Structure 1
Amino acid sequence: MTWIPINRDAGIPLFRQIYTEFRNQILKGKLQIGEQLPSTRDLAASLQVSRTVIVEAYEQLLAEGYIEGRHGSGTFVAEGTLMNINKGKHVPQFTPSAASTASREEAVQATHDLIDFRHGIPALDHFPRKQWSELSKRACMEAPNEAFGYGKPEGRLELRTIIAQYLHRTRGVICDPDQLLITTGATQALSLIAKLLLSEISDVILEDPITMEIHNIFSLPDTTIHPVPVDRHGLLTELMPENIKPKFIYVTPSHQFPLGGVLPIQRRVQLIQYAAAHGSYIVEDDYDSEFRYEGPPVSSLQGLNPDRVIYIGTFSKILSPALRMGYIILPRAHIEAARSLKWLTDLHTPALEQLTLARFMEEGYLDRHIKQMRKLYRKRRDFLMHALSQSFGEQVTIIGDSTGLHLVAEFAGITFTPDLLHQLELSGVKVHPVDIHALHKDKHRQQIILGFGNLTENRISEGIRRIFNTLSQI
């Protein structure tokens, strides 16, 4: 029987402790490829925990590709999961430091009842105004005098500490607060990375498709972008070019944008090994993985190799884009340079908002808000999928629906040309083509992104009806 240590007083869910121990044993080779895991019933009895706990841990391992089920035979360690780039080093563990304890669209909307399936917008009417306003008042009244002066570019220690703890607990991120830089949203984090790493002639690898804003931020005069295709599981790591030394590889491994794939462990290992062999960093954009509808959020890539991965997160999708609050976690070699760049950009992110967010997280409001919103978004996602299926039947294929605030609908025999998109908008519905985000064009012209986070069921139903009426006239 495999020995799995658990600590019931650690404050970490038991299923995550079991998942983490299995993951580490697999990555270190202590559990060999093809080796069978204990049955859920036997392991639950051995550890004296509910079988549900073991099932949750196994489902997480299965979702991330560490294990595979064989019908009638059991559960086994999957191929391609052995980490060998650390030359015998342990998979890094969390060791907290002392600090870690402590336009046109507007014109149309004005004259038209436009239903916009824009992606990445949370349910704005569900922002926790009451709790936020109360905490904001307390933060203002109780803040030390120095909080009203010029702050440090890296942000308030209170917020950095609670974010580091939160990310370790929920995403398996390994960092100390001094590695964390508070930013004015994820866009600023990406701009800082560009300034930090692309100061000379550079190569960069991007997923293709990926949000067009990324193209713009990284399209600098001396930078060559190398797009690598994705499939429904994320970046096709075997297609990464071998004849270059990219400064970094930008990926969205927990929920590929826009196609929605979750990068399995085999490709994560290949990606880390490629980065190590080519002297590259990996930029992990974890933009909305809190809202996963099949099991808990997928663990971060950063947790596999903190020295090689730069991790970006934002509160725009969790709470509100209006907060303009995000963060970046850096390998130690780049911390001071990033702080200097942040200071030159805007000195620091507003302190009182940071203090309010820190209290919001520390007092448990963020966890409760995410839990409530996950239920709401799952309901809206299911309603959208049902509406698509009812209207279009087998003509539509839905992909990328396991996580986040959008899904991708692929329509057989329909090409979303600019003329068709214009016809849809004239009918009162705005959709967003996948192809606009692709560097290699014309590969995704039958696919559209449908965001559902900020749309009620009535609006979703009416929007799909308008899409159906327009497409039926083609």
Structure 2
Amino acid sequence: MAHEWSTLHELLLPAVSDATRGKRGRAVENELRRAIRDGRLAPGSRVPSSRDLAGQLGLARGTVSAAYAQLVGEGYLVAERGSGTRVANRVGRAQTTPPPRRTRVDLHPGLPSLSSFPRAEWLAAHRAALADLPHEALGYPDPAGLTSLRGELAGYLGRVRAAQVDPESLVITNGAAEGLALIARELHRRGHRTVAVEDPSHLGQAELLASHGLRPVPVPVDDHGIRVDRLAASGSRAVLVTAAHQFPLGVVLHPDRRHRLLDWAGEHDGLVIEDDYDAEHRYDRPALGAMQALDPARVIYQGSVSKVLAPALRLGWLVLPPALLPEVVERKRLDDLGSATLPQAAFAQLLRSGGYDRHLRRTRALYRRRRDALLAGLATVDGCEPVGIAAGLHVVLRLPAGTDDRQVQRMLADEGVSAPALSGYAHAATTFPGLVIGYAALTTEQIDDAVTALARVLTSVATRP
């Protein structure tokens, strides 16, 4: 409190000293008002009594009281009996930074077409599931997940991803993020202190691992996926990979490296965390089966509905080796007593009725058209080359050697187009300059707009001295 009052004295004294005798009260009023607007006096902070402040500034108490009364009337100060006078909690501050740029087209990867969410089918699935649920199912759920969902999901993953899944090995989570957090905490409990991660890769996953006491160790990725020959040097006994469609580079882990990765896990008593985040979206051929089927005892398989339906559903899953299952289920129980039953039941119904498969067929066709439109537009732009397989919800755009991709990102932002630089996903390795372009949620007009802006920016970059 004394610090606040001393600061207020130092703040007001110059203004009062410079004012003529008849205008010192107005100087106090104006300077207080300005300090509150600028945020120099924080909302809720107490100001000294009129008697104390008048004594500090050498003014009549009535002069300070009048200034306080004026600012109370304007809403800058609040006077409460027994609590003194404080700065109001809601006071608009002066704009000190320019307003954010308006984004016309958002090219960030990771979102499906949210406007294509099957609302009618999801609502029907909810109604059917609720009608079928016995009364006892409305109590606290099984922390591993609803039995009916685990059964339907095990069948789906075996059919679509060739995974080796027993319903009892499945744990339903609040999205893939909770699944990775559960794994991270169990690894830490077992003595792990590092986890190898692909470089480049999703920085949010590295942050999540670090928040649970595991240091992410980057291992470079090339055209055939993660460099398995570099894993031993990482000192880790666990590795997180996106084998079916590496994020963000869009490559597939070569079959030979798959086997070498599993050999590494066996030799080092290690674990492979297979993040199968968007493998259902392959447009030129069926995706390779999940790596988990090759060694269910060494591979943790994780997925979610975020790239197929919507992230807002917060539905994910883990397929766990038997050695990890009891501890992870217990950890899930202690965290939240299990995920919500009704969304699980609705998802089980959507799987059972074929609605999930129908939605996938519709969106695969939609995303392929949008990807083709994007690539057709990019073919007319000099100085860029799409890389990666025909899959997923994004494409990586290679820029000319020597280009500063973060500068291109900033210049596109000035054009109203938000496109992340590839270098923003790098941990340690130097990638080629590029952009990571998400296209699943774009309309044809937005694709054309983005391509036009990109052509303009790259021409500007190329002609600069």
TM-score range for the pair, normalised by the shorter chain length: 0.7 to 0.9
* Number of the residue aligned with 2:380: 390
- Alpha carbon RMSD of aligned pairs, Å? 1.9
Distance change >3 Å, CA 452–CA 221, structure 1 → 2: closer
Aligned to 2:63: none
Amino acid at match of 2:444: E
Matches within 5 A, 1:45-56: none
1:226 aligns with 2:214: no
8 Å CA contact 2:393, 2:439 repeated in 1: yes
TM-score, structure 1 as length reference: 0.74
Shift of 1:251: 0.6
Matched-pair identity in %: 34
Answer 1 or 2: which has greater helix percent. Answer: 2
Deviation readout 1:61-93 (Å, 9 max, x if unpaired): xxxxxxxxxxxxxxxxxxxxxxxxxxxxxxxxx
Q: Which of 131, 139, 142 in structure 2 is aligned with 1:152? A: 142
Q: Which of 331-340 and 395-404 deviates more?
A: 395-404
The whole-number CA distance in structure 1 between the counterparts of 2:98 and 2:334 is: 38
1: CA distance, partners of 2:234 / 2:358? 48
Give the whole-Å Cα distance in 1 for the aligned partners of 2:343 and 2:214: 35
Partner of 1:236: 227
Matched, 1:344 2:334: yes
Q: 2:274 — aligned with what?
A: 284
Aligned AA (1:195):
R
Q: Compute the TM-score of the two structures, normalised by the length of structure 2.
A: 0.75
2:200 to 197, 203, 209: 209
Give how far 1:132 is off. Answer: 0.9
State the match for 1:400 in structure 2.
Answer: 388
Given residue 204 of structure 1, which amino acid in structure 2 is its aligned partner?
Answer: V
The one-letter amino acid of 1:367's match is: D
Secondary structure at the residue paired with 2:381?
helix
The 5 Å alignment of 1:149-188 reads: 149-188=139-178
Q: Name stretches of at least 5 consecutive residues in structure 2 with no aligned partner.
A: 1-96
AA in 2 matched with 1:197: L
> C-alpha distance in 1, partners of 2:99/2:274?
35
Question: Which stretches of structure 1, 4 residues or longer, exceed 4 Å deviation after superposition?
Answer: 107-111
CA separation of 1:305 and 1:416: change in aligned 2, threshold 3 A: same
**d(CA) in 1 for partners of 2:281, 2:406:** 31
| Paired amino acid for 2:354 | G
Aligned length: 364
Give the counterpart letter for 1:206 in structure 2. Answer: V
1:100-151 Cα shifts (integer Å, max 9, x gaps): xxxxxxx999872520111111011111111111121222233111222110
Note if 1:428 corresponds to 2:428.
no
Q: Aligned partners of 1:183, 1:390: CA distance in 2, in Å?
A: 44
What are the superposed Cα offsets for residues 151-208 of structure 1, whole Å, 9 maximum, x if unpaired?
A: 0111101001111011111111112111100001000111011001123352321111
Determine if contact 1:433/1:445 at 8 Å carries over to the other structure: no
Contact 1:232 1:399 in 2 (8 A): no
Secondary structure of the structure 1 residue equivalent to 2:297: coil
Aligned match of 1:447: 434
Offset at 1:236?
1.5
Q: 2:398 pairs with 403, 410, 414, which one?
A: 410
Task: Please say if 1:134 is aligned against 2:121.
Answer: no
User: Aligned residue for 1:273?
Assistant: 263
How far off its partner does 1:419 sit? Answer: 4.3
Residues 414, 446 of structure 1: 8 Å contact kept: yes
Q: Residue type matched to 1:318 in 2?
A: V
CA offsets 1:293-344 (integer angstroms, 9 cap, x no match): 1211210100000011000011000111111101001001111111111112
Q: Distance in 2 between matches of 1:118 and 1:301?
A: 28
